[in-house]
Amino acid sequence: MPKRIIISGGGTGGHIYPAIAIANELKTIDPAIEILFVGAEGKMEMEKVPRAGYRIIGLPVVGIKRQLTLENLAFPFKLGRSFLRARQIVREFGPDVAVGVGGYASGPVLLAASLKGIPTLIQEQNSYAGLTNKLLSRGARTICVAYPGMEAFFPAQKIKLTGNPVRTDIMQAIGKRTEGLAFFNLEPNRKTLLIIGGSQGARTINESIEKDLRLLIQSGHQVVWQTGPLFIDRARKAIADAGASQVKAFDFIYEMDLAYAAADVVVSRAGALSVSELCLVEKPAILVPFPAASEDHQTKNALSLVNRQAALLVNDHAAPSELVPAALRLLDDPDQQQKLSQHIRELARPKAAREIAEEVLKLIK
């Protein structure tokens, strides 16, 4: 009988893509494994996971808002319904192991699995553990983490330092520069700035680029700009008004391996997945942490690189005045680029997906 594994969580690309990478590695080890994803209704995993070739079921679970809102009144009811549905899914699918990658859906699913005696594994992407994973860690058999020092949040005997899994294509980005330049219609004799704000875009980064777009044009460099869906029309208008044919804007980039390959410098938020990808592709980066991330974990992620001279940091509040000038200085400083690339390379963990998949399989009786 084939092994069966549930993978739950999502909400952002930072949760979804590691989950897909783990699933892909499990299928590489044992193609007969049956994998079921469980996500949150209306969240991006409901589109991204089927696109990767996996079945997913949605729960009505939502996050709790930090402000007092009417939505928070519905939270306990949706959580209760989600737990009952998760219990039904676990009973019907009969998994050998349940894996939680963070995000709304992982709580009900891992709790339902634990109560049935099914072993669970948590994958914590950030350098500061989220509340859901801290609560679930009590019942988890194994906790795979990306950063040292996570004993501050989890029982030390359960921790495995694996790094964050990333998609195979991104691990193969090095050596694709010519292909990347051609794909984005870029000129090989110009420096390329890649701007990514996460799967939904980053308003502060977008507005900072828009504000100083003429500075970027005057520099002679070219830009690949992932804006997210809410800013794309505004970005395209700004580009058209400025006559900036060397600035290419996209709401979402699926071919991130080619985008990284074409880039000389990257501006990015400091989500755990973005940080792990930057380490693997060895790119000099300027990180702009999202200040409203829970427990300010993006700043902690960024500092884990900055403290090792592996990246530069521009705070969100300073980005409108400092981001583009900092990017231009780095683009014009090949020695600094080389130093950052060398140091960020040392933090890469290219076998993370394989190590996590092996930990999952160890839990099967």
Over the range 27-40, which residues count as b (16 or more CB within 10 Å of their CB) and which as e?
Answer: beeeeebbbbbbbb
Structure token digits, residue 45: 């995993």
The annotation places the binding site for UDP-N-acetyl-alpha-D-glucosamine at 12-14, 126, 167, 199, 253, 272-277, 298
Contact 88, 115 (CB under 8 A): no
Residue 72 pLDDT: 53
Are residues 48 and 101 both part of a single domain?
yes
Are residues 227 and 290 both part of a single domain?
yes
Residue 100 pLDDT: 95
Contact 209, 195 (CB under 8 A): yes
Q: How confident is the model at residue 244 (pLDDT cuts 50, 70, 90)?
A: confident
Are residues 39 and 173 both part of a single domain?
no
Are residues 262 and 313 both part of a single domain?
yes
Q: Is the pLDDT of residue 217 over 80?
A: yes
Residue 351 pLDDT: 93
Q: Which domain holds residue 86?
A: 4-164+351-362
Pick the range with the lowest mean pLDDT from 144-158, 239-253, 289-303: 289-303
Are residues 182 and 327 both part of a single domain?
yes
Are residues 138 and 242 both part of a single domain?
no
Are residues 187 and 137 both part of a single domain?
no
Encode pLDDT of 37-89 as tens digits.
998 888 888 999 999 999 999 888 765 555 556 555 555 566 678 889 999 99
Contact 122, 143 (CB under 8 A): yes
Are residues 268 and 227 both part of a single domain?
yes
CATH number at residue 173: 3.40.50.2000
Contact 302, 270 (CB under 8 A): yes
Are residues 179 and 126 both part of a single domain?
no
Are residues 80 and 150 both part of a single domain?
yes
Q: Percentages helix, strand, coil for the chain, rounded to the nearest 5? A: 50, 15, 35
The annotation places the binding site at 12-14, 126, 167, 199, 253, 272-277, 298
What is the number of structural domains in the chain?
Answer: 2
pTM given for the model: 0.83
Encode pLDDT of 353-362 as tens digits.
999 999 999 9
User: Residue range 9-14: average pLDDT?
Assistant: 78
Are residues 197 and 336 both part of a single domain?
yes
Please list the residues that pair with 57 across neighbouring strands: 38
Are residues 135 and 199 both part of a single domain?
no
Structure token digits, residue 153: 């949040």
